[in-house]
């Protein structure tokens, strides 16, 4: 993987930078054979390299023109959230905060599939939407990649494709200050992968709507704000490691 390819390795359906699925749990679908409004659907997710999907719950598809609030709750004529059919084992990301009225889809001719729950853990998700006919057979199914970029992730294999197997020296971990917001050790006391620390600094540095490529990170690590942040948090010796980690880090940004 060359630096210029890193950001484009995965085609994210949405991420927590530009909003999308992690804000409202909605996937909008254009015309598909055998798919109409009013069909029952189920949502499930797989986090990182997990083998099994976890149920998020079920619902009934609605027209893209359906009014919703900012959290994806369908609004009734009284502008209050309507109840949702949920059998999910995951937790919702919160209750309705206000009654700002939007439409479920930008393209109001689409069908909207609104998840009753949205997972909150950081990482890369495969979100599976399964639409069913009245007899329970599958009418349509689709997998989408969704990114929730968060700091402090302990295990690369559980959340992302394994990061490069790179660790700092023990002196470097002891240099980290709790006030930096970058955690050097796992909950069990083991050093976190160095690329996860570099990832945390990239996430903390700010969010942008444009893609960030490994070449951008490498340049900024060498002579820009990214490098200044790394030096202040981890130390000068972390820059070569940051350059090595940049292709992997950029893959899981936006």
Tell me the whole-structure pTM to 2 decimals: 0.78
User: pLDDT above 90 covers what percent of the chain?
Assistant: 41
**Local confidence band at 96 (pLDDT 50, 70, 90 cut-offs):** very low
Residues 51-79 have pLDDT tens digits of 899 999 999 999 999 999 887 888 875 44
pLDDT of 210 > 90? The answer is no
**Cα 41–29–108 angle (5° rounding)?**
115
Q: Of 185, 184, 170, 38, give the one whose Cα is nearest residue 112.
A: 38
Answer whether 110's CB lies under 8 Å from 28's CB. yes
**pLDDT value of residue 4:** 42
Cβ atoms of 193 and 156 within 8 Å: the answer is: yes
| pLDDT reported for residue 62 | 94
Average pLDDT of every residue of the chain = 82
* Cβ atoms of 82 and 73 closer than 8 Å: yes
pLDDT band at 99 (very low <50, low <70, confident <90, very high): low
Among residues 174, 175, 168, 171, the alpha carbon closest in space to that of 198 is found at 168
- Using the predicted structure, report yes or no on whether residue 213 has a pLDDT greater than 60: yes
Does residue 123 register a pLDDT over 80? yes
Mean pLDDT of the 92-110 span: 68
What is the DSSP annotation of 108-152?
TTSEEEE-S----S-EEEEEEEEEE-TTS-EEEEEEEEEEE--S-
Degrees (nearest 5) of the Cα angle 142, 158, 234? Answer: 125
pLDDT confidence of residue 158: 72
Average pLDDT for 24-29: 91
Query: Is the torsion defined by CA of 139, 143, 147, 153 positive or negative?
Result: positive
Q: Which two tokens stand for residue 78?
A: 């009284």
- For residue range 159-209, list pLDDT tens digits in order: 777 788 999 998 888 888 878 888 899 888 899 999 999 999 998 876 666
What token pair was written down for 17?
């930078």
DSSP letter at 190?
P
Which residues on adjacent β-strands are paired with residue 244?
A: none
Mean pLDDT of 38-57: 94
Per-residue model confidence as pLDDT tens digits over 6-25: 455 677 888 777 778 988 89
Output the pLDDT for position 94: 40
């Amino acid at each position: 993987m060359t630096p210029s390819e890193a950001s484009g390795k995965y085609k994210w359906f949405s991420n927590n930078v530009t909003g999308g699925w992690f804000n409202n749990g909605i996937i909008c679908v254009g015309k598909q054979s055998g798919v109409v409004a009013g069909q029952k659907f189920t949502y499930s997710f797989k986090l990182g390299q997990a083998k099994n999907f976890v149920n998020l719950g079920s619902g009934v598809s609605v027209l893209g023109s359906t009014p919703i609030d900012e959290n994806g709750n369908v609004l009734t004529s009284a502008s209050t959230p309507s109840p949702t059919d949920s059998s999910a084992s995951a937790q919702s990301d919160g209750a309705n905060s206000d009654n700002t009225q939007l439409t479920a889809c930008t393209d109001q001719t689409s069908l909207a599939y609104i998840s009753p729950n949205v997972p909150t853990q950081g990482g890369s998700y495969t979100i599976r939407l399964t639409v069913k006919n009245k007899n329970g057979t599958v009418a349509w199914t689709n997998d989408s990649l969704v990114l929730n970029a968060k700091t402090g992730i302990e295990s690369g294999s559980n959340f992302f494709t394994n990061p490069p197997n790179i660790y700092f020296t023990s002196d470097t971990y002891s240099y980290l200050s709790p006030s930096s917001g970058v955690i050097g050790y796992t909950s069990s006391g083991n050093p976190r992968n160095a690329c996860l620390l570099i990832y945390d600094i990239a996430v903390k540095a700010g969010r942008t709507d444009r893609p960030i490529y490994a070449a951008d990170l490498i340049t900024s690590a060498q002579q820009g704000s990214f490098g200044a942040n790394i030096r202040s948090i981890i130390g000068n010796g972390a820059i070569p490691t940051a350059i090595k980690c940049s292709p992997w880090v950029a893959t899981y940004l936006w």
